[in-house]
Amino acid sequence: MPEPYRTIVEPFRIHSVEPLRFLTADERAAKVRDAGYNLFDLHADDVLIDLLTDSGTGAMSRDQWAAIQHGDESYAGSPSWFTFLAAVQELFPFPHVIPTHQGRAAEKILFTAIAAPGMVVPNNTHFDTTRANVEFTGAEAVDLVIPQGRDPSADHPFKGNMDLDALDALLADRAADVPVVMVTVTNNSGGGQPVSLENLRGVRAICDRYGVPLFLDACRFAENAWFITLREPGYEGASVPDVVREMAALADGMTMSAKKDPMANIGGWLALRDDDLAERCRNLLILTEGFPTYGGLAGRDLEAIAQGLRECVDEHYLRYRIRSTAYLAEALDAADVPTVKPAGGHAVYLDARALLPHVPPLAYPGQSLAVALYEAGGIRGCEIGTVMFGLRPDGTEAPAAMDLVRLAIPRRTYTQSHVDYVIEVVTDVASRASSLPGYRIVEQPAQLRHFTARFEPLG
Ligand code: F0G
C-alpha cells in the first residue's frame, strides 16, 4: 500500500550537531584565491555546505558509535575482525576478505598483484584513483561505458552499463593481456549511474568466454541495488540484500571503500575467490597495511563498518537517500540548470561544458563553475572533467569526455533546507554563467593533479 504523502521524511532525527561557520563573500574570495583556486586546498571550516565528496563524510548512527565501544584492538584475531568479516560476507560471500584502510589501498594491492606493462584493464569508467593505480603498474586503463553514459543529457535507466560489444571486441583482440575486467557500481565518474543485473550477467558471460576474472568496484553497491529494485524489470520490490548478493555472485572479487555506502569514516576491503591470488594480496597487505585481521584499520573501525553495512541496505534509508538526491536534481532541472540525467545515487552532476560554452575544455569550465559556487555561497563541489582526467601519462593534455561539477551528498548529514540553499546558489550562479572566466594551471604534479594543482583565472 503506497503512503498517501509525498514528502520524504529523513529516517532519523538529530542527536548531536556540528556548528557551521559563515564567511562573507569577500572573505571567501580571498580564501579561494589563497588556495590557488583549488577547492581541495581550502580549510574545511571555511566551507558552508561541503559537497566535495560523499566519502567518509556521512553521519554515523547512534548504533555505529555504540559499536565503536565494542572495538577490540587485539593485533591478531580480534572479535571485531570476526564481526566485520561476518557483516561483509553476509552481503558479499567471497571466501577471502582483506581489510584495508580505504578503497585505493585495495586497488593498489590488487593491481600490484595482477597488472604490468603491456596489460589493459577495462572498466565501465575508472574512478581517478583506480585509473591511477592501474597506470602506476604500467598497464592501460580503458573506459567502456555504453555511449549514453558519455552523454550528459541522454536519459537511460542504467547509464553505468558496460558496452558489451566494445568489451567483447577488446577481449577478442587482447584477452591474454587483460588481468581483470572491472565494473564500477554505481558508475561514479560517469554520473553516479547504476549498472543493471542484466548488464552484469552480460559482462560475466563475456568474461567466461575469454577466461578473464570480473571484479566489482563496489563502493556504492547499496545505491546500485536500490536502483535495480526501482528500475529493472523483474526486480520491483526485491529485497536489497538479495540483489546485492546476486551482484556479488556474478563477480570473482571486489574492491571496496567503506567510506561510501557503509557509512564509515574510514575503511575498505578487497574480497575475492581465488586462493593463490588472495595469498599474494595478503602478503602485500602485510607489507603496507597490517596484519590480515585488521589491515589498515583499528578494531573500532571494523565495528563501525559492520554496523554501517547493516544500515545501508535498509530500504527506508535508501528511499530517503535516493529521493533526496533526486529532489536537488529536479529543482535544478526546473531552473534549467543542465545536469547529468537522470540524477545519480550519491550526487548531482552539473554539466559545466553546457553551462559555460564560452570556456573551452582546456580552460576548465568545471573548475570555473566550482570556484564560482564557493565564491557565491560557500558551497564546495568537485570538478570531474578535464582537470581530473585531461592529463595523460605521457604529459600531453586532452579534453575529458565531459566537464562536470559533482555536488556529492554526504550521507545523513544535510537537511532539506541546506539543499534548498544549494538550489538557490546554483541557480543564481547559473544565471550569470556567461560571465565566469576560464582558468589556466600554474603548477601541477605528474599524477592526480586535481588534488594539488594551482590555478589562475584567465583574462
Ligand atoms: N572507487 C570509486 C568508484 C570511488 O568513488 C572511490 C573514491 C574509490 C574507488 C577510492 O576509494 O577514497 O576509499 O580510497 N571516491 C571518493 C569520491 C574519493 O569522492 O568519489 P577511497
What three-state secondary structure class fits 117? coil
Average pLDDT over residues 21-31: 98
Q: What digits encode the pLDDT tens for the residues 89-146? A: 999 999 999 999 999 999 999 999 999 999 999 999 999 899 999 999 999 999 999 9
pLDDT-derived band of residue 307, with 50, 70 and 90 as boundaries? Answer: very high
* Test site for ligand 1: of 50, 54, 127, 451, most ligand atoms within 8 A of the Cβ: 127
- Determine phi and psi for 419, rounding to 5 degrees: -70, -35
Percent of the chain with pLDDT over 70: 99
Closest of 272, 104, 102 to residue 180, by C-alpha: 272
Q: Using a 6 Å cutoff on CB, does residue 307 contact ligand 1?
A: no
| Ligand 1: centre distance to CA 246 (Å) | 23
Q: Using a 6 Å cutoff on CB, does residue 189 contact ligand 1?
A: no
pLDDT-derived band of residue 447, with 50, 70 and 90 as boundaries? Answer: confident
Q: Using a 6 Å cutoff on CB, does residue 224 contact ligand 1?
A: no
Q: Using a 6 Å cutoff on CB, does residue 148 contact ligand 1?
A: no
- Whether residue 186 is preceded by a cis peptide bond, meaning omega within 30 degrees of 0, is yes
Q: Using a 6 Å cutoff on CB, does residue 130 contact ligand 1?
A: yes
Strand residue runs (E) in 22-73: 49-50
pLDDT at 67: 98
Determine the atom of ligand 1 nearest the C-alpha atom of 104: 14
| Ligand 1: centre distance to CA 303 (Å) | 21
Average pLDDT over residues 48-61: 97
Q: Output the CA–CA distances (angstroms, integers) from residue 55 to 76, 259, 265, 406, 409, in the order listed.
A: 28, 5, 8, 13, 9
**Cell numbers for 457:** 583565472
Q: Output the CA–CA distances (angstroms, integers) from residue 258 to 113, 192, 199, 457, in the order listed.
A: 22, 17, 25, 37
pLDDT at 297: 97
- Report the alpha-carbon distance of residue 220 to residue 222 in Å, rounded: 6
- Report the alpha-carbon distance of residue 201 to residue 184 in Å, rounded: 14
Q: Using a 6 Å cutoff on CB, does residue 195 contact ligand 1?
A: no
Determine the atom of ligand 1 nearest the C-alpha atom of 187: 3
Mean pLDDT of the chain: 96
Q: What digits encode the pLDDT tens for the residues 267-293? A: 999 999 999 999 999 999 999 999 999
Residue owning the nearest CA to atom 4 of ligand 1: 127
Q: What digits encode the pLDDT tens for the residues 234-272? A: 999 999 999 999 999 999 999 999 999 999 999 999 999
Residue owning the nearest CA to atom 9 of ligand 1: 103
Element (H, E) at 256: strand 253-257
pLDDT at 247: 98
Q: Is the pLDDT of residue 1 over 60?
A: no
pLDDT at 81: 98
Q: Using a 6 Å cutoff on CB, does residue 217 contact ligand 1?
A: yes
- Report the alpha-carbon distance of residue 431 to residue 437 in Å, rounded: 14
- Report the alpha-carbon distance of residue 142 to residue 180 in Å, rounded: 12
**Cell numbers for 217:** 568496484
Sign of CA pseudo-dihedral 459, 400, 452, 52: positive
Q: Output the CA–CA distances (angstroms, integers) from residue 275 to 253, 296, 455, in the order listed.
A: 11, 21, 47
pLDDT-derived band of residue 351, with 50, 70 and 90 as boundaries? Answer: very high
Q: Using a 6 Å cutoff on CB, does residue 182 contact ligand 1?
A: no
Residue owning the nearest CA to atom 15 of ligand 1: 55
